[in-house]
Structure formats: structure tokens, C-alpha cells
Homo-oligomer: A and B are copies of this chain.
Amino acid sequence: MRDFSSDRQWLALNTVTVKSWSLEQAIDGCARAGITAIAPWRDIVQRCGVERAAKLLRASGLTITCLCRGGMFTAADEPGRRAAIDDNRRAIDEAAAIGAGSLILVVGGLPPGSKDLVGAHRQVRDGIAAVLPHARAAAVPLAIEPLHPMTAADRACVNTLAHANDLCEELGEGVGVAIDAYHVWWDPDLPRQVARSAGRILSYHVCDWLVPTRDLVFDRGMPGDGIIDLPRLRGLVEDAGYAGHCDVEILSAENWWKRDPDEVVRICIERHQSVV
């Protein structure tokens, strides 16, 4: 494994970890902390203005690991699905404008009122296929992120790396996977599926699973505060040839989002060196 502890060049700050910061503040915060890579979310890029964001990010010298996030392809009707496809084309344009390494796809759950999981899977596949030519033309790889199965109903109905790998193989060039330790750590099939992802791992995210977990979405832990064997997972990912950044992405309404973002960044750096 690479020696992360020797420097912080492989650490990327996912901006949701410092949710109260604007893009400008996040760029400045990275500079203050000596962080050289960032993974912005679309809301703060849009609030900044995409052109201005692109200019600021270019000037900062930061690597843009990925843009979070496109997806949400599932909808109750055809106009809804078309709107999602249009929005994903815009997300691809934004990712191209800021020079992001990939666009993360959180694919969407069951449409409101639906119990048709197989149909939702089909909508996701069709949605990605519909935007893929645009992504290829813009040279923006699409990173399918399998989310934890507890999000299957309302956020993402692709819940295993196996399913994401199947989609990549069906859809072909321009589609890969984002592996987030939080979403996949429990999977007994993980070693086999990470190996199968070789050559298409576009993004690697870390946080930690807390015991107990008090909320299905907003109670993720700082690396080291939970029970995920992060070095094991990093070993799997690196054995599969991944040599990119490690994005620290923590959704934490009751803890980390309430703290001073500079303190949060400092602790991210410490933990990245000691436990990731």
C-alpha cells in the first residue's frame, strides 16, 4: 500500500463534509490546510456560478476528483424521467466545466408510490444509457455509486458493487464505479467484486459506520470512530489498481456539521494519516 501518512497528496475533501462552507470557503479552507484535492457538490458549484467556480478551481490548483452528484433517474412518469435525464446532461456539463475526474451517480430509489424494484433497476439502466453519449462526448466518466441497501427505497436502488459492475459491463465505455467504504463494507462478496472493478474504479470515498447508527442518512462517522476496517478496504481497492485520491465524505447532521469546518478538516487530515 502507498504510505498515506508521509504526505496528504492523496486526501481529497468532499465538500459535504464541511456543509456550511460555500465553494469559495472550501477552496480557501483546503489552501489553509494544505489539501490539494476537492470533490464539490453541485449545489455549491451552482451557488457560486459554474463559470466562476471553474475559474476559481482552476486558479486554486486543486485536483477535482469528482462532482457530486448526478443520478436520481427513477420517476413515476415519463416527463419525470426526461427531466432527470436533462438534469444529468447539465451535471455532465458542469463536471466538464470544472474539470472533474468523474460525475458521481446516486441512481435513485423506487418512484413515489411504486413497489416495482425490477422496474426501478430498468429505469436506472435506461437513464444512464440515455446520458452516456453526452458524457462520452464531454469526456466525463460516469461513476455509478452503489449505496447501502438501507437507501434502496428512497435514494438508490443499486446497492451492491456486483450490481454496479453488471451495469458497467452492460453499458460499456464511459461508465465506472465509485466505491464508498460506508456503503459496501458489510458485503461478503466485496473482495471478488472490487477485483472485478479493476480498471473502472473512478472514485474512492471513506467515512465510518458508527455503532449505534441513529439515522439512515445523516449519521456517518469520521474515519476511525466506527467499525469499518478501512486499511483492508483500501488494500482491496489498490490491489485492483486504483491509484487515485481518497475522498473523505461525511454526512453528519448532529456532530461534524455542527463543528467548526477548519477543525473538521484538521481531524480529517489526522485520521487520513492514521487510520485510512
Contacts and interface: CB of A to CB of B under 8 A. Distances in A.
Q: Chain copies in the assembly?
A: 2
A213 B211 contact: no
A162 B149 CA distance: 15
Interface residues of A, number: 31
Contacts of A121: 188
Interface stretch (A23-31, A58-66, A112-120, A169-177): A112-120
Interface in A208-231: 209, 211-213, 216, 226-229
B227 A150 contact: no
Interface string A186-203: 111100000000000000
Nearest to A115: B229
Given A115-B229, A188-B121, A213 B216 contact: yes
A187 B187 CA distance: 12
Interface string A144-173: 000011101110010110110000000000
Nearest to A213: B216
B154 A211 contact: yes
Interface string A114-146: 111100010000000000000000000000000
A185 interface: yes
A3 to B, nearest CB: 21
A237 interface: no
Contact of A216 (B115, B152, B216): B216
A10 B67 CA distance: 51
A107 interface: no
Nearest to A216: B213
Contacts of A211: 153-154
B213 A150 contact: yes
Contacts of A246: none
Contact of A148 (B150, B160, B189, B226): B150
A148 B211 CA distance: 15
Contacts of A269: none
A110 interface: yes
A220 to B, nearest CB: 13
Given A152-B186, A163-B188, A213-B216, 11 more contacts: A115-B227, A117-B229, A149-B149, A149-B186, A149-B187, A153-B186, A153-B213, A154-B211, A159-B187, A162-B188, A216-B216
7 contacts: A110-B227, A115-B229, A117-B186, A117-B229, A148-B149, A153-B213, A163-B188
- A-B complex: 3 closest residue pairs judged by Cβ atoms: A152-B186, A115-B229, A150-B150
Interface of A: 110, 114-117, 121, 148-150, 152-154, 157, 159-160, 162-163, 185-189, 209, 211-213, 216, 226-229
